[in-house]
Amino acid sequence: MDLNHPMLLASDDPPPFPPNQTQLRRLDRALYCQICKEPFQGPVSIACGHSFCSQCIRSSLESLKKCPVCNETAGEGSIRRNRALEEIVDSWEDARAVMINLSQPQASSSRKRPPPQPTTSSASNDKVKRLRRDEAGSSRSQSPAKRSSGADEDEAIDISSSGGVEDEDEPVLTENDEGECPICSARLAIAAIPLHIERGCPPPKKQVNGSGSGNQKADWKKVFGGVSTAKNKDKEPMKRITKPNYHLATPAELKAILSAHSLPITGDKPALEARVQEWILLYNSNLDTSHPKSLPALRARLNEIEASRKRDKEKGKDALGEQLTTKEGVAKYVKERGGEFERLRKEVLARDSQALARAKGQAGKPIEIE
Partner 1 sequence: MFANNTRAQSSTAARRLMKEYRDLTADPLQDMITAGPISEDNMLEWEALVQGPEGTPYEGGIFAAKLRFPSDYPLNPFKMTFDPPLLHPNIYPNGDVCISILHAPGDDPMRYETASERWSPVQSVRSVLLSVLSLMHAPNSDSPADVECAKLYRDDKPEFERRVRAQVKSLLGI
Which residues have C-beta within 8 Å of that of residue 122, sequence separation ≥ 6? none
Q: Quick check: 11 binds partner 1 (CB under 8 A)?
A: yes
What is residue 249's three-state secondary structure? coil
Cβ distance 289 to 42 under 8 Å? yes
Which residues does 40 contact at the CB level (< 8 Å), separation at least 6?
Answer: 31, 32, 33, 51, 52, 53, 85, 86, 89
How far is Cα 277 from Cα 261, in angstroms, rounded to an integer?
13
Binding to partner 1, residues 43-62 (CB under 8 A): 56, 59-60
Residues numbered 265-284 forming contacts with partner 1, rule: CB under 8 A: none
Least spacing, CB of residue 272 vs partner 1, in Å = 18
CB atoms within 10 A of CB 203: 11
The nearer residue to partner 1, 70 or 151, going by C-beta atoms, is 70
Q: How far is the CB of 343 from partner 1 (least distance, A)?
A: 8
8 A C-beta contact, residue 181 and residue 196: yes
Following DSSP, what letter does each residue of 167-195 receive, concatenated?
TTTSPPP-TTSEEE-TTT--EEEGGGHHH
Q: Which of 14, 21, 34, 209 binds partner 1 (CB under 8 A)?
A: 34
Please say which residue, 6 or 137, places its beta carbon nearer to partner 1.
Answer: 6
Q: Considering the complex, state which of residue 234 and residue 314 has its C-beta at the smaller distance from partner 1.
A: 314
Nearest to partner 1 of 153, 312 (CB atom)? 312
Tell me if 356 contacts partner 1 by CB under 8 A.
no
- Taking alpha carbons only, the member of 238, 254, 230 closest to residue 294 is 238
Select the span of 90-98, 122-130, 162-170, 305-313 touching partner 1 (CB under 8 A).
305-313
Residues that bind partner 1 (CB under 8 A): 1, 3, 5-8, 10-13, 16, 19, 34-38, 56, 59-60, 63-64, 66, 68-69, 71, 301, 304-305, 308-309, 311-313, 315, 317-318, 321, 340, 347, 360-361, 363-364, 366-370
